[in-house]
């Protein structure tokens, strides 16, 4: 049988472990989540080396360069006539990667992710289109309404119905707007 003193020590030890785990979780949640186009770990490559297929969407971190090398890079950039590919022209992911990309866009709860999410409305896979529609509903941004209505014009009847229903849902007033209306009505009634 353990003494009361040893039981207190065990409880204290467990408490400290739990507190440490909660602290680590809190610190991790405070870190900004990487976007869908950013890798979890920065890609480091040597200057002049070709990009790997996995780093095509990543912003590579290059080694420090000398002033002469930087000047040569600037001259090369000025003489190049090919435009940089836009993120909108990048191919859409497929399968589970597409669903993960949609979820990554949705959990930001940022209006800036609406155009990136809209690209998935025209995906060839119906499950991914449905995930994008659900993502718009979860995101709750009214900026998505015209994008959903536009995409519904060229969608299959089932997808068009889901897109228009999502647009109607997003057009509904929020709880804060309803409260403001109720307060305005209460203030106007004698």
Q: Is 92 exposed, middle or buried (0-12, 13-18, 19+ CB in 10 A)?
A: middle
pLDDT tens-digit map of 34-68: 555 555 444 444 455 455 444 444 444 444 444 44
Confidence band (pLDDT; 50, 70, 90) for 165? very high
C-alpha span between 167 and 148 (Å, rounded): 6
Of 110, 112, 125, 167, residue with least CA distance to 142: 167
Tokens 């025209």 -> residue: 122
pLDDT tens-digit map of 15-27: 888 988 888 887 7
Q: What angle do CA 109, 22, 29 make, to 5 degrees?
A: 20
pLDDT tens-digit map of 112-131: 889 988 989 888 888 988 99
Average pLDDT of the chain is: 74
Does pTM top 0.85 for this prediction?
A: no
């Amino acid at each position: 049988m353990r003494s009361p003193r040893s039981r207190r020590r065990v409880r204290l030890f467990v408490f400290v472990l739990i507190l440490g785990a909660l602290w680590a979780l809190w610190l991790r949640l405070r870190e900004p989540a990487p976007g869908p186009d950013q890798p979890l770990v920065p890609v480091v490559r040597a200057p002049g080396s070709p990009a790997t297929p996995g780093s095509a969407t990543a912003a590579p971190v290059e080694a420090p360069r000398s002033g002469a090398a930087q000047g040569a890079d600037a001259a090369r950039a000025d003489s190049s006539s090919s435009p940089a590919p836009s993120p909108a022209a990048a191919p859409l992911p497929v399968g589970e990667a597409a669903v993960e990309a949609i979820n990554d866009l949705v959990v930001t709860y940022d209006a800036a992710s609406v155009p990136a999410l809209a690209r998935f409305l025209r995906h060839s896979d119906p499950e991914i289109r449905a995930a994008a529609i659900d993502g718009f509903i979860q995101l709750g941004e009214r900026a998505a309404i015209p994008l959903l209505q536009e995409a519904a014009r060229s969608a299959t009847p089932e997808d068009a119905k889901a897109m228009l229903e999502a647009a109607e849902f997003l057009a509904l007033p929020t709880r804060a707007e309803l409260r403001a209306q109720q307060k305005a009505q209460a203030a106007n009634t004698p």
